[in-house]
Amino acid sequence: MSHNKLKGSIFFYFSATLIAIFMLLPFFWMISTSLKSSGSVMTIPIQWIPENPGFNSYRKVFEIFPFARSIFNSVFVAVATTLITVLSSAMAAYVFAKFEFKGREILFSLYLATLMIPKQVTMIPNFLIIREIGLLNTFTGLMLPSLFNAFATFMLRQNIKTVPDSYIEAAVMEGSSQFRIFKDIILPLVKPTLATLTVITFMEAWNRYLWPLIVLTDRSKMTLPVGLSLLNGQYGEQYNLLMAGSLISIIPMLLVYIFAQKYFEKGLSVGGIKG
């Protein structure tokens, strides 16, 4: 390696490390604050390493608030929403990619046009529909709009289109049903994209605040973001409690990303099939 290339590599890694440190500073501050007592949170200068660290904030969060119930509700809603969104989008993408029917491209274009409509605009119509069919204050009503996801359908359609038609034709000749072709051929071949959409959808469902706040009125059914907002309203000055609750809410997203990491980067770029 030449001297100039060595200097360039050193500069690159130094800059990347510096940027990473600055990006992680708020996260380190959250961890540090959650381990402090209420009296030492606002000390100046900031104590990055607490003098008497403890887990009292984490224990107190569960004592003063139905935090465990909120976590369970969020896990259930996020997992169910992810499954509904990914499966329904995969089935729609398979139809749009491999089935020839009149008006397919026009219908798909109209479906994609819904991406230009902000979600805030559709909340009131969705709320009225859910109220009319009697699904207010239910998890079913909360998750029902997730059946339709144009972005996920578009990503999966682009990937499914790269699957050779010969695979499907051979399976049809052997007597396989369309469901079996979808399950045994299509889904395994688009696994990276499915993993990417799973992570994105789970994060979106886990962090969703406004829609659960509108649909769910029962305190026992509230999700974690709604619970954290109520916690902030009641204990807004106790930052150690807020940071403890926020850190707990981050853990599921980190676990999902860690388990799907090997597929995540592949799925972001929709390409051909690797044999």
DSSP letters spanning 66-115: -HHHHHHHHHHHHHHHHHHHHHHHHHHHHHHHH---TTHHHHHHHHHHGG
The model's pLDDT over 233-261, given as tens digits with 9 standing for 90+, comes to 777 678 888 888 888 888 888 887 777 77
- pLDDT above 90 (res 13): no
pLDDT band at 205 (very low <50, low <70, confident <90, very high): very high
Question: What does the block give as tokens for 9?
Answer: 């590599």
Q: Do 225 and 210 contact (CB within 8 A), yes or no?
A: no
- pLDDT above 70 (res 85): yes
Neighbouring C-beta atoms of residue 117, cutoff 10 Å = 10
* Amino acid symbol at 140: T
What is the helix (H) or strand (E) element at residue 4, kind and residue range? helix 3-34
Q: Do 200 and 186 contact (CB within 8 A), yes or no?
A: no
pLDDT at residue 62 in the model: 85
The residue length of the chain stands at: 275
Q: Do 133 and 72 contact (CB within 8 A), yes or no?
A: no
Nearest to 147 by CA among 197, 77, 82: 82
* Amino acid symbol at 127: F
Query: What percent of the chain is predicted at pLDDT more than 90?
Result: 31
pLDDT at residue 271 in the model: 43
pLDDT at residue 34 in the model: 83
Residues 22 and 26: their CA atoms lie apart, in Å, by: 8
Rg (alpha carbons) of the chain, rounded to whole number: 24
Q: Do 40 and 47 contact (CB within 8 A), yes or no?
A: yes
* Amino acid symbol at 84: I
CA 246 distance to own-chain centroid: 16
Residues 113 and 104: their CA atoms lie apart, in Å, by: 14
Residues 251 and 260: their CA atoms lie apart, in Å, by: 14
Neighbouring C-beta atoms of residue 33, cutoff 10 Å = 24
The model's pLDDT over 131-177, given as tens digits with 9 standing for 90+, comes to 999 999 999 999 999 888 999 999 899 889 988 999 898 998 988 89
